[in-house]
């Protein structure tokens, strides 16, 4: 039978689901290990068959999001994404370090990003200063900031416009509203989940798998539990440094090349902190993430 192209919308250890982009969903098995394991978002060549098709090959990827496994080794997770949408809300209280983890990931992969401040219908309360700092942080990095509410629908048109035609991944703490946003962006979501479960033959299982949902505007949304708790060990400390351009820049003014930015005289970073050019919390996050990645690079010295 003749070979076709398609889009992988879900992938498990031994098979994946391919959208033929003409309304059909096909369960396909992998042809050996040599072709590599496709992940959600991959464009593939495949050959139809009964009861299953076969994956023949994976088209070159624009990008690949990997997550560190429990040993920090990279595992492919999703491919070909256009934008990371970082979701925060007044509740649960925003986690400054977690947002920086996403920023490091996005910057390292060269992904466009967007900060979506959800639950705009709620009082900001004690989260107000952190939210303001996160918005300022993103704006400084040239990342658009939008706010809205899935409860009232406010701002959602802006989110649709800003990400129109793109394949996006929502990331953020549990409870910020990622599922609610997914529902708002994919009106036929529950129908589609039913269809996917039926084709994959794995019942409810699909809801915990990384899954791509196509959007009406030609874009897509990838729902991935795997990126929700993210380790960066495998990215390395240099990637962390590159994601903090304001700290690197200030460090050039330090008198000592090996300045630790703690008690040394003429420290550019401490001057930057004092002048407000560097956000204090971000400096803490940077130190924390560097320590984490350094330990991964030199496990024998870790601890
Ligand atoms: N007030 C308000 N509540 C919202 C809004 N969006 C979501 N929620 C509520 O927040 C809670 C969590 O929403 P979810 O969409 O399940 O959050 P999530 O990020 O998918 O959570 P996990 O699946 O645990 O990662 C639910 O009770 C939602 O009804 C909003 O815009 N305003
Ligand atoms: Zn210094």
| The token pair that represents 94 in the structure block | 């925003």
Residue nearest to atom 12 of ligand 1 (CA): 175
Same domain for 164 and 216, yes or no, is yes
Same domain for 220 and 242, yes or no, is no
Ligand 2 centre distance from Cα of residue 98 (Å): 25
Probe target for ligand 1 pocket from 87, 175, 230, with the most ligand atoms within 8 Å of CB: 175
Same domain for 9 and 71, yes or no, is no
Same domain for 164 and 87, yes or no, is yes
Give the pLDDT of residue 205.
54
CATH number of the domain within which 39 lies: 2.40.50.140
**Which numbered atom of ligand 1 lies nearest the CA of 150?**
31
Lowest mean pLDDT among 99-113, 137-151, 162-176, 212-226: 212-226
Q: What integer is the mean pLDDT of 195-200?
A: 86
Give the pLDDT of residue 303.
41
pLDDT-based confidence at residue 193 (cuts at 50, 70, 90): confident
CATH number of the domain within which 241 lies: 1.10.40.50
Q: State percent of the chain over pLDDT 70.
A: 91
The binding site for Zn(2+) comprises: 254, 259, 261, 267
Ligand 1 centre distance from Cα of residue 176 (Å): 5
> Is 25 a residue whose pLDDT tops 70?
yes
Q: What integer is the mean pLDDT of 173-198?
A: 90
Give the pLDDT of residue 290.
92
Is residue 215 lining ligand 1, measured as CB closer than 6 Å? no
Is residue 162 lining ligand 1, measured as CB closer than 6 Å? no
CATH number of the domain within which 158 lies: 3.40.50.300
Tens digit of each residue's pLDDT (9 = 90 or more) over 152-163? 999 999 999 999
Average pLDDT of every residue of the chain = 90
Same domain for 54 and 69, yes or no, is no
Same domain for 100 and 19, yes or no, is no
> Is 167 a residue whose pLDDT tops 60?
yes
Same domain for 279 and 132, yes or no, is no
Is residue 179 lining ligand 1, measured as CB closer than 6 Å? yes
Task: Provide the domain count of the chain.
Answer: 3
Are the CB atoms for 18 and 47 separated by under 8 Å? Answer: no
Give the pLDDT of residue 204.
56
**Which numbered atom of ligand 1 lies nearest the CA of 87?**
19
Give the pLDDT of residue 203.
59
Closest ligand to 263 CA?
A: 2
Highest average pLDDT, of 193-197, 278-282, 288-292, comes from 278-282
Same domain for 149 and 179, yes or no, is yes
pLDDT-based confidence at residue 301 (cuts at 50, 70, 90): low
Is residue 148 lining ligand 1, measured as CB closer than 6 Å? no
Probe target for ligand 1 pocket from 117, 153, 177, 181, with the most ligand atoms within 8 Å of CB: 177
Same domain for 35 and 122, yes or no, is no
Q: What integer is the mean pLDDT of 207-234?
A: 81
The binding site comprises: 118-121, 172-180, 254, 259, 261, 267
Closest ligand to 272 CA?
A: 2
Ligand 2 centre distance from Cα of residue 259 (Å): 5
Is residue 183 lining ligand 1, measured as CB closer than 6 Å? no
Is residue 178 lining ligand 1, measured as CB closer than 6 Å? yes
> Is 143 a residue whose pLDDT tops 60?
yes
Same domain for 223 and 241, yes or no, is no
Give the pLDDT of residue 295.
79
> Is 90 a residue whose pLDDT tops 80?
yes
- Structure-model confidence comparison of residues 1 and 139, the more confident one: 139
0.90 surpassed by pTM: yes
Is residue 118 lining ligand 1, measured as CB closer than 6 Å? yes
Is residue 175 lining ligand 1, measured as CB closer than 6 Å? yes
Tens digit of each residue's pLDDT (9 = 90 or more) over 225-257? 766 656 666 788 899 999 999 999 999 999 999
Tens digit of each residue's pLDDT (9 = 90 or more) over 29-67? 987 766 678 999 999 999 999 889 999 999 999 999 887
Same domain for 85 and 191, yes or no, is yes
> Structural domain of residue 21, as residue ranges?
4-58
> Is 24 a residue whose pLDDT tops 50?
yes
């Amino acid at each position: 039978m003749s070979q076709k192209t398609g889009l992988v919308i879900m992938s498990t250890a031994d098979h994946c689901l391919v959208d033929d982009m003409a309304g059909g969903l096909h369960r396909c098995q992998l042809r050996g290990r040599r072709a590599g394991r496709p992940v959600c978002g991959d464009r593939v060549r495949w050959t139809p068959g009964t009861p299953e098709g076969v994956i023949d090959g994976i088209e070159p990827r624009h990008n690949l999001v990997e997550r560190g496994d429990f040993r920090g080794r990279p595992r492919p997770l999703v491919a070909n994404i256009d934008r990371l949408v970082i979701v925060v809300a007044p509740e649960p209280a925003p986690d400054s370090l977690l947002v920086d983890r996403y920023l490091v990931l996005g910057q390292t992969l060269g992904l466009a990003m967007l900060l979506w401040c959800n639950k705009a219908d709620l009082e900001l309360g004690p989260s107000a200063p952190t939210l303001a700092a996160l918005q300022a942080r993103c704006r400084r990095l040239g990342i658009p900031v939008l706010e809205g509410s899935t409860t009232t629908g406010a701002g959602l048109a802006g989110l649709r416009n800003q990400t129109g035609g793109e394949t996006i991944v929502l990331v953020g703490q549990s409870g910020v509203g990622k599922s609610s946003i997914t529902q708002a962006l994919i009106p036929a979501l529950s129908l589609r989940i039913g269809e996917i479960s039926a084709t994959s033959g794995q019942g409810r299982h699909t809801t915990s798998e990384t899954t791509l949902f196509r959007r009406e505007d030609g874009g897509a949304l990838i729902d991935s539990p795997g990126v929700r708790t993210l380790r960066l060990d495998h990215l390395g400390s240099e990637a962390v440094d590159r994601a903090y351009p304001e700290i690197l820049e200030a460090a050039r003014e330090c008198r000592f090349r090996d300045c630790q930015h703690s008690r040394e005289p003429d420290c550019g970073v401490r001057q930057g902190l004092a002048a407000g050019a560097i956000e204090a919390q971000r400096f803490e996050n940077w130190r924390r993430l560097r320590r984490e990645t350094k330990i991964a690079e030199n496990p024998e010295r870790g601890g």
